[in-house]
Amino acid sequence: MEFSFLHPSFLWALPVAAGPVLLHWLTRPRPRPMPFSSLELLREAVRSRLARSRLTQILLMALRCLLLAVLMLLFSRPILHWAGGAAMLNGSVTAVLLLDASYSMDARQAGLSSLEWARDQAKAVLEKAQQNDRFGLVVFSNRVELSLPPTEDLEKINKALDSLSVTARPTDVGPALDLAYQMLETESGNQEAVLLFSDFAENGWKRVLTRSRTGSSVRFDPQIRVLLVEAGEKEPNGEIVSIQSGVFEHRLWGDSSSRDKSWTLFLEGRSAAQGRVRLANEPQRQPISISERGSFSWGQVSLEPDALAWDDSRFFLMQRPAPFSVLVVNGAPALSPVQDETYYLSAVLEDLAGIGVRSQTIPAERMEDEDLSRWEVVALLNVSSLSPAIFSSLESFVKKGGGLWVTAGHNVSPPSWSGLLPGRWGPVEDKSESMRLTPEAGRHGLGRDLGEDGGFEWNQVQIRKIMSFVPSPGAVPLLMTSESGRPVLVVSRFLKGHVAVWTTTVDRDWTNFPSKPLY
């Protein structure tokens, strides 16, 4: 077991603890001889009281020195390191290392992210492992990102730690704890422990505590020692919460005091305005001037970067000349928000509600009861199949001039309604490519809006999965993968209407592309 300090520079201030002694020495009264009668009887009377008073003063001075020394040590933030299995527990140990790789772990201090700090601490534990110690690894966000069962092959664990990176997901420690306990259930002989490395964001524990109170599978076995290691020091974090109706909302996390920050408004990639705002724990509103500049103009508000820069910027759509209406059909409502394309589209439509855009989201089974003539656009997201009645209604809607947007996704396998599509589906393929505009895009209105002048940098978009798609004659691919040339966005006319097919998704499993300004 070893001690170290997160801020050892404060230890240089320990001599300050001797301040009360120095102060007493400098300010103590100096005796001055004065003529007086005999003091022999008076000296005998106060001698015993003088000894008690001196002892009291010495104790008080010592307590003051101790208080200053303790404050200096607290400022230096001492931490306790595990110095190997035998030093922490008696005998061999089987331990599971839990590393938080959620979004907040990208916060940096002195050039080192919280995840990098946690990784280094975990590797230090492995370096001091004893013979017969076994280690497992669970990397988590709001799900398990990586898991390795307990093993004596520590090189394998070290290689996995070297490959870690922060995800764009929130925190939920519950699934990782469940898996750690399951791993240890199959172990025997060694003493068992769980080491959790995290920044301990409060929201990451809410579901664990709730599930524990309701008697769920998350449990804290008293036979398994759980050690919590805080990754780095929490830094205040400014965030842009929302942008709508010419106002952006901002707030400060992690600090009760307010902070001033500069902000910049970009319109179509160009700086248009700037100023300063005071961030506080309660959401604050800042007006911005947004003029109407075309159907697909877009903008961005950015705060001065801080330790966690991902939430310092937010995209928004500019006002459209004419409001429109869209019916969103969610074919997979059980998916988590970060896997559900409806989640991202809803945020865009909420921003547009202020200018009269009307929208509604329904599950796929409710389409039979919906009057499609009330809508101008229907968006089918993760819809796997359609009944003959729904297909007929949708076909009539498009023929009369309606717009249809179809995305691929976890559920899509649409042979029952492929007659509406400008091509045919194939299997899901794992890809690792960026995107680029096709030569035909410059001759198409939507393709021109998706160019660099609109703020799109397709070479920065990384596709991880894509539904293979073979366009029909007459269909126009506007976007494709940069290397293999797979179509990503295909559009086509269908009598008076239009159909657009997006062969990937904007969720964080399939691409790294933000929902704005895509929609």
- Is residue 467 within 8 A of residue 425, CB to CB? The reply is yes
As a whole number, mean pLDDT of residues 27-48 equals 62
- Is residue 143 within 8 A of residue 177, CB to CB? The reply is no
As a whole number, mean pLDDT of residues 232-255 equals 75
* One-letter amino acid of 48: S
* One-letter amino acid of 228: L
Helix and strand element counts for the chain (H, E): 10, 26
353: its two tokens: 């509600």
Give the integer Cα–Cα distance in Å for 358 and 438: 32
Q: Is the pLDDT of residue 386 over 50?
A: yes
Give the integer Cα–Cα distance in Å for 404 and 364: 15
As a whole number, mean pLDDT of residues 249-269 equals 77
The pLDDT tens digits of the residues spanning 97-128 come to 999 888 888 877 767 788 888 888 888 888 88
Q: Is the pLDDT of residue 256 over 80?
A: no
Map tokens 């089974």 to a residue.
365
**Helix (H) or strand (E) segment spanning residue 284:** strand 284-287
| Residue 485 Cα distances to 280, 469, 481, angstroms | 48, 11, 5
Give the integer Cα–Cα distance in Å for 167 and 508: 9
pLDDT at 403: 92
Give the integer Cα–Cα distance in Å for 309 and 9: 27
The pLDDT tens digits of the residues spanning 303-316 come to 887 767 777 888 87
As a whole number, mean pLDDT of residues 248-271 equals 78
Highest mean predicted confidence (pLDDT) among 13-22, 40-49, 236-245, 467-476: 467-476
Give the integer Cα–Cα distance in Å for 305 and 311: 9
Q: Say if strands 259-267 and 270-279 run parallel, antiparallel, or are unpaired.
A: antiparallel
Give the integer Cα–Cα distance in Å for 318 and 314: 13
The pLDDT tens digits of the residues spanning 166-175 come to 887 778 888 8
Highest mean predicted confidence (pLDDT) among 44-48, 128-132, 180-184: 180-184
Give the integer Cα–Cα distance in Å for 98 and 17: 39
26: its two tokens: 């400098």
276: its two tokens: 């300063």
Q: How confident is the model at residue 402 (pLDDT cuts 50, 70, 90)?
A: very high
Query: Burial level of 379, CB count in 10 A (0-12/13-18/19+)?
Result: buried
CB atoms within 10 A of CB 260: 9
The string of DSSP codes covering 165-178 is ---S-----HHHHH
Of 94, 120, 97, 116, nearest in space to 105 by CA: 116
Q: How confident is the model at residue 86 (pLDDT cuts 50, 70, 90)?
A: very low
As a whole number, mean pLDDT of residues 220-239 equals 74
As a whole number, mean pLDDT of residues 255-280 equals 80
- Quick one: DSSP state of residue 202? T
In 3-state terms, what secondary structure has residue 368? Answer: helix
Give the integer Cα–Cα distance in Å for 473 and 423: 8
- Establish how many alpha carbons lie within 13 A of residue 99's alpha carbon, considering only the half-sphere containing its beta carbon: 32
Q: Is the pLDDT of residue 84 over 50?
A: no
Cβ contacts of residue 21 below 8 Å, gap of 6+? 61, 65
The pLDDT tens digits of the residues spanning 433-488 come to 888 889 888 777 777 777 765 557 787 788 888 888 889 888 999 999 988 899 99
pLDDT at 490: 92
